[in-house]
Each structure stands twice: as C-alpha cells, then as structure tokens.
Amino acid sequence: MINVTKSYLPDLDEYNTYLKGIWERVHLTNDGPLVRKLEDQLKEYLGVKYLKFCTNGTIVLQLALKALDIKKEVITTPFSYVATTNALLWEGCTPIFADISPDDYNIDPDKIESLITENTQAIMATHVYGNACRIDEIQAIATKYNLKVIYDAAHTFGARYNGQSILSYGDLSTCSFHATKVFHTGEGGCIVTNDGEMAEKLHHFRSFGHQNDT
C-alpha cells in the first residue's frame, strides 16, 4: 500500500527525554510547563495574541460555543469533518447548512444571508484544504446581523490572510493537531482569541476552573 501521506514522528530518544522530565516533575496535567512552552512557541510562530492548547480539535469547537454562549441555530458548512457538526449537536445547537463554493469548497457567503432567522446566533465556517474562507464577506454578514463567527482552521495551520495568521479572524478560531494534520501532536488542538478576558475564560473552562495546580 502506498500512503497518500504519513504522520511525522519525533526522534524516539529525544521524545523519551521529555517523558523523563515529566516523570521527575510528576506534573501530569492542568497547565504544566510543557503545555505553557508549546503555547508560547505556537503564539510566536503564528503571531497570535492568546492561544490555549486542549486535548483535541472537537473540544476546542465545543469550548468556542460555550464561551460565546451559543445555544440556538448556527449556520455552518456541510463539507467538513463530522466533528464540526458533532460539536454543534453536542452543545445543543441546531446546525443550518449553507452550500459551498465550487471554487474553493468553503462555505459560500452568498448562501448564508437567506438562511438567517431570529434564532441564528453564529456562523461556524471551515477553511478547507488550506483555502481561506471569504473572511471579509462573512464578517460583513455577521456584523450586519450581530452574529458571532467561529472558524474551524484544522486545514490551515500556518496559513496567513492579509498579512496575519488566519487564526486571528472571527470571534474565535480553532485548530486540530490530530495525527492527520500538517502540524500534529498525535492528539490535540488549540483555540485562539484576540481578547484577554476571553482568553482567561477559556483557560478556566479548559481546566474546570482550576488555576496552576496539579
């Protein structure tokens, strides 16, 4: 069998040195030093203000919905991994599917406005195959109707739009670090915001309110 792609694995000896440090510190969870180091390195590499690492890309979508208090209709794309829709359903939201553009396979902003109702609270869009959504058009619709925007950027780690990280856009952006992704941690994900208060809220949501304990 010829693989289309293959997940990168680190040098085993180097990996084991990290494991040895974990054993010595006995700090296994809740905002440990390796998590903080990874967050700092990712923020610097991506050029974003606030980034919180989590267990996977589905959890960060659910965190985004919780943090923005989204509970009703969300206009989203039918062309995404099932986790995008699952996150909506698991948070009690109603997914409303807008068709995609044949040019880039992203949600088509021209199909969004007609789907907005009095129950619509947000737009959840996925950047597909490294192609940025039509961000400016989506934001214009969101501003007009006072909607929140969440981006699933699992396909676009490291991508830039108008000179800045694609994760800088929307009210919140998320990314998956699953083993199938260009950048991966085996399992994992992150959520990005430009707002300090929101970052603090996400920090506490992630750890059930715990702060700096093991």
Q: Rg for the chain (alpha carbons), in Å? A: 18
DSSP labels, 101-125: PTTTSSB-GGGTGGG--TTEEEEEE
| CA–CA distance, 94 with 176 (Å, rounded to integer) | 22
The model carries a pTM of 0.93
Looking at CATH, the fold of the domain delimited by 51-206 is given as Aspartate Aminotransferase; domain 2 (3.40.640)
Q: What is the dihedral of CA 103, 106, 112, 116, to 10 degrees?
A: 170
Q: Would you write out the chain's pLDDT as a tens digit for each of its 214 residues? A: 787 778 889 999 999 999 999 999 998 877 889 999 999 999 999 999 999 999 999 999 999 999 999 999 999 999 999 999 999 999 999 999 999 999 999 999 999 999 999 999 999 999 999 999 999 999 999 999 999 999 999 999 999 999 999 999 999 999 999 998 889 999 999 999 999 999 999 999 988 777 765 4
Q: Any idea where the domains of the chain sit in the sequence?
A: 51-206
Contact 191, 59 (CB under 8 A): no
Provide the token pair at 13.
């000896």
In whole angstroms, what is the distance from residue 207 CA to residue 186 CA? 20
Q: What tokens were used for 63?
A: 């965190």
